[in-house]
Structure 1
């Protein structure tokens, strides 16, 4: 199955003016509804796109936005595309093309595989330059037919993982780690060497434990302790303790080719909301339970 088989020149266009994301949505809805009969069209479809957009950003760092609408009573999958001469700022991410996907509610797997194919395409600078030079929807379809970009049949964890996660070296001080926690909003960080070799993980609890004296960990109850004073130990040690002293080296990891259900099983078995994705000893990404929820369950 090829990406080009889901495309129709009638729902592809080039925008030369400065426009907003909402204007692009309006134009795509007009083109799609003019060529296809959908259970919901016009303003209703437009509102559905905006509602889905409000749940989470659909923009990717590679310059593409992929809004998606799942529609009751629709047994097909459509893609409308707009190539933008003037990029649009979508919540801090510059987007130069928008691919709107409309599918039925049972096609999450196909949708995610389409997203994977579109993202791979967006990273191909040579191919993207060729498509923008086409200036013609029919030329876009023909170019993609020749490229033979395939839609995979099986969704793998590499299709939804975060491929450029925050990482840290084992010899970094806890001051660096605390800054990463604060700035990135993550609760765990993979530990790697200079070659991205995977060494282990360090999480927020590893960090906080530095401020808890050993004798407290041996007690069943510390209700008697009302003072914040024990955690002051953490502030004193931040400039002294390094990551390798508190990191966990024996951790469960997954291969990028692992299936979604395999990763869910491992998360439940090991009571972990996140896993490092490792291939041949090197870190290639991370996946969280929320990634699976948002990108698979709620896709």
Structure 2
């Protein structure tokens, strides 16, 4: 199946400027309504879309906005495209092209494969630059060259090119990275992106609690943070290789989403390194599944 076959060329807007993503989406909704394909009123559709965007928009590199909403009565999937004459600056980042999706309340089996196909195609700079500089007919023709895969795999919902660390990263730099990026887990890789370990915030905390304290029957009497003071004093001298653990989990990029869910729920993992022939290519978290599948 080709991507262009799912997009009506009348629902592609090029050369027109809008002040916001919401304005562009509202204009596409009006086009849907003119074609008499909406079973709900435009006001309801606009409200549903705005409510969904308030939960957090989807903006993929290199500037692909993907607002979407689930509306009762929509027949599977309706898609609109807007190519701004110049990039639009938003709070989420710079928008160079927008794909708007309306699906039924139950969602569409094509939604995730479509997101994946669009993201992969737009990673090709030549394709993407041509797409954002074309007129309506040319955009539709380009989209019709994109083959839509039918199955949904881990690769479709993972975070590609995730942050990693090396065994020689200091504990100080690791703590800064966790703090600044809001992370709690990082894969440890070698120069070839092969995973050689993993490290979590818990591993840092463990370093601050000596073994002799763990052997005590009770630690209620310990009121100071002397052990952590020692950790902070030596954090530039402690390295990830001193605290990391051997890899305990991973999943193939070609694995099914259900397989990932079973691993996460059955083993208690919050993150899964994603591998391709032994090389780390992504990271899948329980939050990815929530955002892209449950609330996608």
Shorter-chain TM band: over 0.9
The total of aligned residue pairs comes to 296
Root-mean-square deviation (Å): 1.6
Q: Is the Cα contact below 8 Å between 1:212 and 1:233 reproduced in 2? A: no
Q: Is 1:275 aligned to residue 272 of structure 2?
A: yes
Residues 81 and 97 in structure 1, CA contact (< 8 A), matched pair in contact too: yes
Match of 2:75 in 1: 75
Indicate how the Cα distance of structure 1 residues 220 and 5 shifts in structure 2: closer, same or farther if over 3 A, else same: farther
Match of 2:243 in 1: 246
Q: Which of 247, 256, 261 is 1:259 aligned to? A: 256
Q: Which residue of 2 aligns with 1:140?
A: 139
Most deviating of 71-80 and 161-170: 71-80
CA contact (8 A) 1:57 1:91 kept: no
Give the 3 Å change call, closer, same or farther, for CA 62–266 of structure 1 in structure 2.
Answer: same
Aligned-partner Cα distance in 2 for 1:175–1:244:
13
Gaps in structure 2 of 5+ consecutive residues: none
1:182 matches 2:179: yes
CA 229–108 in structure 1, closer or farther in 2 if over 3 Å, else same: farther
Q: For 2:190, which of 193, 213, 224 is the aligned residue?
A: 193
CA contact (8 A) 1:109 1:296 kept: no
Q: Does the CA-based 8 Å contact 1:210-1:233 persist in structure 2?
A: no
Offset, 1:108: 4.3
| Counterpart-to-counterpart distance in 2, 1:241 and 1:291 | 32
What's the secondary structure of 1:86's corresponding residue? coil
Q: Taking structure 1 as reference, are residues 222 and 158 closer, same or farther at Cα in structure 2, changes over 3 Å only? A: same
Aligned partner of 2:213 in structure 1 is 216
Check whether the contact 2:57–2:66 (CA below 8 A) recurs between aligned residues.
no
Deviation at 1:19, TM superposition (A): 2.3
Task: Check conservation: 1:16, 1:86, Cα contact below 8 A.
Answer: no
